[in-house]
Amino acid sequence: MEMEMNYDFDTTDEINHAYDEADNISSIASTTPVRRRTREMLDRYKQVDLGYRQISTGRNNSKLEYYATSYVPGASIRNAITGARYENHRVGHLSEDLHFKVSYAGHDSSQTVSVMFYDDPEQFERHFSTHLSNNSKEEWNAKYNRAYEILTSQ
């Protein structure tokens, strides 16, 4: 089954539709040409995504991919791994405390500080292959619980 792919992205809706097409194609087809086109489409999407970043891990020339969130107050918070936007969660709002926030200022970070948001500290640990202290996790959990109680009572 031959499918026509559109690689020209003009709007966010078209990009989201391309992701949906890629998910559908990868789940119903296992042929190498289709997978190659799907990978090309996703790679092209990453090239135009201003929040997409790559850093060297120093292990076998491997790269770590992530999605940065703008630190401008009011910007939608993005998951650092998936790039998904939490439309009702904004930078500078109490909802920011529902996410584990990490700032990266390494030499690979495009001469600016990258701000990353994770669902929880464990998601960050898995992504960066690192371990955080239990104290850091407990502090985040307390902050999360306070924010959750306030937001759910409104």
Q: Identity (one letter) of the amino acid at 26? A: S
Q: What per-residue confidence (pLDDT) applies to 33?
A: 81
Whether residues 35 and 85 share a domain: the answer is: no
| 44-74 pLDDT per residue, tens | 777 777 888 888 777 777 888 899 999 899 9
Burial 2-26 (b: 16+ CB within 10 A, else e): eeeeeeebeeeeebeebeeebeebe
Q: What per-residue confidence (pLDDT) applies to 45?
A: 72
Whether residues 97 and 74 share a domain: the answer is: yes
Q: Which band of pLDDT confidence, cut at 50, 70 and 90, is reported for residue 85?
A: very high
Domain range for residue 81? Answer: 53-153
What total number of domains does the chain contain? 2
91 secondary structure, DSSP code: T
The answer to the question of residue 7 being in a domain is no
Whether residues 137 and 76 share a domain: the answer is: yes
Rg of the chain (C-alpha set): 18
Whether residues 44 and 57 share a domain: the answer is: no
Higher per-residue confidence, 53 vs 30: 53
| 103-124 pLDDT per residue, tens | 988 765 556 788 999 999 999 9
Whether residues 62 and 35 share a domain: the answer is: no
* Calpha distance 30→7 (Å, rounded): 20
Q: pTM value? A: 0.70
Whether residues 33 and 95 share a domain: the answer is: no
Whether residues 42 and 90 share a domain: the answer is: no
Contacts of residue 137, defined as CB under 8 A and 6 or more positions apart, other chains included, come to: 121, 122
Residue % of the chain over a pLDDT of 70: 76
Whether residues 133 and 67 share a domain: the answer is: yes
Whether residues 86 and 34 share a domain: the answer is: no
Cite the beta strand spans of 5-154 per DSSP E: 52-56, 63-67, 76-78, 85-90, 100-104, 114-118
The answer to the question of residue 5 being in a domain is no
The chain-wide mean pLDDT, for the chain, equals: 80
Whether residues 74 and 147 share a domain: the answer is: yes
Contacts of residue 49, defined as CB under 8 A and 6 or more positions apart, other chains included, come to: 67, 83
Q: Of the segments 21-25, 60-64, 81-85, 102-106, which one has the largest average pLDDT value? A: 81-85
Answer whether residue 95 shows pLDDT above 60.
yes
**Residue 70 burial (CB count, 10 A):** 14
β-strand partners of 79: 117
